[in-house]
Structure 1
Amino acid sequence: MSEIGILIPAAGKGSRMGKKMNKQFLDLLGKPVIYHTIKSFLDWQRDFELNIVLAAAEIDYFKQKILPLFSDYQQQFNIVAGGKSRKESVNNGLQNFSDKVKYVIIHDGARPMIKRELIEKSFQAVKKYDAVSCGVRVKDTIKVVENSFSKKTLARDSLRAIQTPQAFKLDLIKKAHHNYRKDKALDDATLVEELGEKVYIVEGDYNNFKITTPEDLKPAEIILKERFNV
Structure 2
Amino acid sequence: MSAVTEKQPRYAVIVAGGAGTRMGTEIAKQYLPIGGIPVLMHTLTRFHALDPGIQLYLVLPEADFSFWKNLCERYAFAVPHRLVKGGKTRFCSVRNGLESISGASGLVAIHDGVRPFVDVQVILRSYEVAADVGSAVAAVPLKDSIREMLGSEKSVYRNRSQFRLVQTPQTFQLSKIKKAFAAGEQDFFTDDATVFEHMGWEVCLIPGNPENIKLTSPEDLDFAEYLLKKRKSSV
Q: What TM bracket, shorter-length normalisation?
A: over 0.9
**8 Å contact from structure 1 (residues 2, 49) kept in 2:** no
CA distance in 2 between counterparts of 1:31 and 1:185 reads 33
**8 Å contact from structure 1 (residues 104, 170) kept in 2:** yes
**8 Å contact from structure 1 (residues 4, 104) kept in 2:** yes
The aligned amino acid for 2:30 is Q
Is 1:65 aligned with 2:71? Answer: yes
The equivalent residue for 2:141 is 137
**8 Å contact from structure 1 (residues 113, 209) kept in 2:** yes
**8 Å contact from structure 1 (residues 2, 100) kept in 2:** no
How many pairs are equivalent?
A: 228
CA distance in 2 between counterparts of 1:175 and 1:2 reads 18
C-alpha offsets along residues 163-211 of structure 1, whole Å, 9 cap, x if unaligned? 0001001111111112243246210000111111101100111100000
Stretch of structure 1 that moved more, 2-11 or 180-189: 180-189
Which of 181, 193, 218 is the equivalent residue of 1:189? 193
CA distance in 2 between counterparts of 1:179 and 1:144 reads 32
The equivalent residue for 1:99 is 103
Calculate the aligned-residue CA RMSD, in Å: 1.9
CA distance in 2 between counterparts of 1:188 and 1:67 reads 32
Which of 135, 152, 155 is the equivalent residue of 2:156? 152
The TM-score, its normalising length taken from structure 2, stands at 0.91
| Runs of at least 5 residues in structure 1 that lack an aligned partner in the other structure | none
**8 Å contact from structure 2 (residues 148, 156) kept in 1:** yes
Identity of aligned residues (%): 35
**Runs of 4+ with >6 A deviation:** none
CA distance in 2 between counterparts of 1:100 and 1:144 reads 42
1:13-28 aligned at under 5 Å gives the runs: 13-28=19-34
For residue 14 of structure 1, report the CA deviation from its aligned partner.
2.1
CA distance in 2 between counterparts of 1:4 and 1:108 reads 17
CA distance in 2 between counterparts of 1:32 and 1:72 reads 13
Which of 7, 23, 28 is the equivalent residue of 2:13? 7
| Runs of at least 5 residues in structure 2 that lack an aligned partner in the other structure | 1-6
The equivalent residue for 1:115 is 119
CA distance in 2 between counterparts of 1:112 and 1:144 reads 31
